[in-house]
């Protein structure tokens, strides 16, 4: 009779495992149907650093697959055990039965004695239970990643994140441990001594753990024995389980906070959410992330601008373009009453500044105003578009790419001395503006400038000029005869010189076009700019179309005509304007994995591609872009533009500079509210 009852319990328990696994498997398939890269799916601003990155989406998919595998393993083992019990219970008969006898036979099976190896049966039941438990663990981890995609990273300590995940990581471990205890009780129906013999005979644990196992089983087995199967017999182990689960949940949340790649910008988001007043002079993040008033300030600023060269048409460099874009945007806000460029002599500036209407603010682009003349000027800010320490990375790359027959350059030694010189004279400037997050960190740590004198304001681009416009892109294609049959249009725009990475790009394209006829047939590369590498690109054949230098309006059309913009620059200085122009045009970007680019522009795979400055890495990225195709590129372009509108517009840049100038010009006065920010 006891054997029959045991067989009945085994079959019902196995049925329960299969049914529960089926329910969880349905949840897994629902999770697999989610597109985590869909910008409309998340409730977090995609431009925010609290938005989950590609790695979270990859983990979500992996945990779903692991969960499905565990549930499938558990169900298959349970089904196999059920069939073994039924076959042995009927003696292996395979007679023909009518439908009316099926129910009767099933009842007979349930009340028959199954002659199976009990040790194998218990081991199988234990494996099936562990499979279900593992599936639940992986499914819980997948749900945690799902919450991060929907509500933001755990490391940002959002209340909504904690409210969603807290019950999950507390209740599920509790339920799992209680489930395993009850399953063991229902499956084994053993006394303490029999349980120890079972573990020893099956060798599930090493002998060294047998003594520890005895102490644990004293609590679990005796409280769940046949003589104490009432509800209250479970109180003691349940209390222990709840305590351990709560402890593990707290540890899990702490681990999530510490292990999450929660950058400094995540902390910035927390400060804003808590509505804490921010001291702008010590604010360590990019001011572009803050939202300033669009109304002109009550105080009209008179600004003196020093720049080495005023931009002329399309031949302007990044520094000159920054000066033009910034101060034209300031003039539109009725902030800049006048400016001087480097062509005006220093004595004229001194005369104007000593008159009854001195300048409120002096702004110099890099060393447009020499440090020897800046020492005693307190209302001054210098914008750095490249510092010597950043260039060391470029020098290392150039040396690694140097051909054996080329003479060795001694730029590294010279650059180190220049870094020392800059560290000495940079403090002569009152305030420093870094155009990238990486440069701001260097000024504080390496150049040892006090943090209240270093401010990060990212470069901005005129959003009215550079914006998505399909019609302008089609017009550009028609003008230059770009065939519609091409499935991928790659674009580059820069000076075609060595330090812009064109030898690297040339060699990568040369290898791909020679080895892959399909790529050659379906891909075209547009090259905008002039320089010595222009004629060499033409030698690669009809797939390379060298357009020459383009003016701003043509460049805006160019970005709308291409599927991806590639910048293979080897110069680790400043923040490249062409990348920002492409981003605001809704075009995904691919660039060298330099600190300023990876830290401020291409912060993840969801907005673009990065590669190491080697031919092999560049080839791999080009093939990856080709494999992704236009649909994925369009999605990444949209996400990049959404982030760009929050960071890289001329309006955001001008508002940040205006607030900085107001703060500096009023520094030391009673009215210093310009130096504080209230979210």
310 burial type by CB count under 10 A (0-12 exposed, 13-18 middle, 19+ buried): middle
Task: Give the residue with greater pLDDT, 625 vs 391.
Answer: 625
Nearest C-alpha neighbor of 146 from the set 247, 38, 271: 38
pLDDT > 80? residue 118:
no
Model confidence over 430-470: pLDDT tens digits? 999 999 988 999 999 999 999 999 999 999 999 999 999 99
Q: How far is CA 14 from CA 22, 85, 118, 121, 231, in A?
A: 12, 11, 15, 11, 23
Determine the average pLDDT of the residues in 78-91.
68
Query: By the 8 A CB rule, do 443 and 449 touch?
Result: yes
83 burial type by CB count under 10 A (0-12 exposed, 13-18 middle, 19+ buried): exposed
* Per-residue pLDDT, 527: 95
Question: Quick one: what percent of the chain has pLDDT higher than 70?
Answer: 66
pTM: 0.62
Least confident range from 39-48, 405-414, 618-627: namely: 39-48
* Per-residue pLDDT, 345: 54
Least confident range from 244-258, 402-416, 502-516, 631-645: namely: 244-258
* Per-residue pLDDT, 193: 47
Count, in order, helices (H) and strands (E) of the chain: 24, 13
Model confidence over 32-51: pLDDT tens digits? 556 555 555 566 655 555 66
Q: How far apart are CA 174 and CA 56, in angstroms?
A: 26
Position 167 confidence tier, pLDDT thresholds 50, 70, 90: confident
* Per-residue pLDDT, 197: 47
Give the chain's mean pLDDT: 75
Q: How far is CA 514 from CA 485, 507, 508, 510, 562, in A?
A: 20, 11, 10, 6, 23
* Per-residue pLDDT, 244: 54
The angle subtended at Cα 514 by Cα 510 and Cα 515, nearest 5°, is 120
Nearest C-alpha neighbor of 383 from the set 649, 667, 661: 661
Q: How far apart are CA 352 and CA 300, in angstroms?
A: 17
Least confident range from 108-112, 309-313, 636-640: namely: 108-112
* Per-residue pLDDT, 532: 92
Nearest C-alpha neighbor of 502 from the set 392, 398, 633: 398
* Per-residue pLDDT, 344: 56
Least confident range from 83-97, 530-544, 602-616, 619-633: namely: 83-97
Nearest C-alpha neighbor of 594 from the set 468, 504, 657: 504
The size of the chain, in residues, is 679
* Per-residue pLDDT, 240: 57
Task: Give the residue with greater pLDDT, 112 vs 153.
Answer: 153
The angle subtended at Cα 620 by Cα 617 and Cα 622, nearest 5°, is 110
Determine the average pLDDT of the residues in 378-398.
86
* Per-residue pLDDT, 633: 94
Q: How far apart are CA 233 and CA 181, in angstroms?
A: 12
Task: Give the residue with greater pLDDT, 166 vs 117.
Answer: 166
């Amino acid at each position: 009779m006891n054997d029959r009852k045991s067989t009945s319990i085994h079959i019902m328990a196995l049925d329960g495992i299969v049914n529960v696994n089926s329910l969880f498997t349905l949840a897994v398939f629902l999770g697999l149907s989610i597109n985590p890269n869909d910008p409309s799916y998340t409730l977090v601003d995609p431009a925010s650093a609290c938005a989950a990155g590609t790695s979270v989406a990859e983990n979500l998919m992996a945990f779903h697959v692991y969960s499905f595998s565990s549930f499938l393993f558990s169900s298959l083992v349970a089904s196999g055990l059920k069939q073994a019990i039924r076959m042995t219970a009927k003696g292996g008969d395979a007679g023909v039965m009518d439908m009316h006898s099926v129910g009767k036979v099933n009842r007979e099976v349930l009340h028959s004695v199954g002659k199976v190896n009990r040790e194998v049966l218990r081991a199988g039941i234990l494996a099936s239970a562990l499979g279900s438990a593992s599936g639940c663990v992986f499914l819980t981890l997948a749900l945690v990643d799902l919450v991060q995609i929907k509500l933001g990273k755990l490391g940002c300590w959002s209340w909504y994140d904690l409210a969603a995940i807290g019950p999950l990581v507390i209740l599920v471990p509790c339920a799992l441990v209680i489930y395993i205890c009850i399953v063991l009780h229902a499956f084994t129906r053993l006394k303490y001594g029999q349980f120890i013999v079972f573990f020893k005979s099956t060798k599930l644990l090493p002998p060294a753990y047998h003594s520890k196992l005895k102490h644990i089983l004293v609590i679990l087995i005796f409280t769940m024995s046949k003589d104490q199967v009432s509800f209250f017999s479970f109180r003691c182990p349940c209390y222990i389980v709840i305590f351990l689960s709560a402890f593990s949940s707290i540890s899990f949340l702490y681990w999530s906070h510490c292990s999450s790649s929660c950058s400094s910008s995540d902390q910035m988001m927390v400060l804003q959410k808590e509505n804490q007043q921010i001291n702008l002079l010590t604010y360590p993040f990019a001011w572009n992330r803050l939202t300033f008033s669009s109304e002109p300030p009550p105080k009209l600023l008179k600004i003196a601008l020093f720049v080495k060269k005023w931009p002329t048409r399309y031949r302007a460099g990044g520094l000159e373009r920054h000066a033009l874009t910034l101060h034209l945007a300031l003039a539109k806000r009725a902030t800049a009453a006048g400016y001087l460029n480097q062509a005006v002599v220093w004595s004229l500036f001194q005369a104007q500044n000593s008159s009854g209407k001195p300048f409120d603010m002096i702004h110099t682009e890099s060393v447009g105003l020499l440090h020897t003349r800046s020492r005693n000027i307190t209302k001054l800010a210098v914008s750095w578009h490249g510092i010597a320490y950043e260039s060391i990375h470029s020098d290392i790359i150039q040396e690694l790419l140097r051909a054996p027959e080329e003479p060795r350059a001694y730029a590294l030694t010279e650059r180190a001395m220049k870094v020392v010189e800059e560290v000495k004279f940079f403090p002569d400037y009152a305030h420093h503006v870094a155009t990238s997050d990486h440069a701001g960190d260097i000024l504080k740590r390496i150049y040892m400038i006090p943090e209240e004198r270093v401010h990060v304001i990212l470069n901005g681009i005129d959003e009215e000029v550079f914006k998505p416009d399909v019609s302008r892109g089609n017009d550009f294609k028609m003008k230059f005869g770009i065939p519609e049959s091409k499935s991928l249009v790659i674009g580059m725009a820069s000076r075609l010189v060595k330090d812009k990475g064109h030898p690297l790009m040339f060699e990568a394209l040369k290898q791909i076009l020679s080895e892959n006829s399909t790529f050659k047939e379906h891909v075209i590369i547009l090259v905008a700019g002039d320089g010595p590498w222009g004629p060499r690109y033409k030698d690669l054949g009809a797939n390379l179309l060298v357009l020459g230098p383009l003016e701003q309006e043509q460049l805006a059309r160019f970005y709308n005509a291409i599927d991806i913009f590639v910048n293979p620059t080897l110069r680790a200085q400043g923040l490249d304007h062409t990348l920002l122009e492409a981003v605001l045009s809704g075009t995904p970007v691919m660039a060298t994995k330099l600190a300023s680019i990876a830290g401020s522009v291409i912060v993840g795979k969801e907005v673009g591609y990065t590669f190491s400055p080697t031919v092999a890495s560049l080839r791999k990225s080009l093939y990856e872009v080709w494999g992704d195709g236009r649909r994925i590129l369009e999605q990444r372009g949209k996400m990049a533009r959404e982030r760009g509108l929050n960071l890289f517009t001329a309006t955001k840049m001008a508002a940040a500079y205006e607030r900085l100038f107001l703060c500096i010009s009023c520094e030391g006065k009673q009215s210093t509210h310009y130096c504080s920010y209230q979210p």
